[in-house]
Amino acid sequence: MIGYHVTTPAKMTKYRQIQAILPPVRFWPSAGTALKWARRTGRTCIVKIRVTTAYPLPDHKPAYWTGEIVRLRTEEPDPAAPNGG
């Protein structure tokens, strides 16, 4: 399942240091719902994640959570893109 995790810049820095988001990881099923939550909470970072197991959050519909460690992938620059991606 693809989802969108909403977080703060400080937490995003920690995630990048360990290259993972540790459980429980809460996320939204679409970029639109994640953006609404980000605006509502003042969080400015939205991370697209992929998980294999997800459970609904009863108090924040349509949000989900997973007990997986979500590994962050570093995107390789596209050499065909302007300025090397």
Residue 80 reports pLDDT greater than 70: no
For residue range 19-64, list pLDDT tens digits in order.
Answer: 999 999 999 999 999 999 999 999 999 999 999 999 999 888 899 9
Tens of pLDDT along 61-78? 899 999 999 999 866 555
Joined together, the tokens standing for residue 71 give 């590994």
Domain ranges of the chain: 2-73
The predicted model scores a pTM of: 0.83
How far are the Cα atoms of 6, 17, 59, 69, 83 from residue 64, in angstroms, in the given order? 12, 25, 10, 15, 37
Q: What would you report as the CA-atom Rg of the chain, rounded to the nearest whole angstrom?
A: 14
| CA distance linking residue 68 with residue 66, whole number of Å | 5
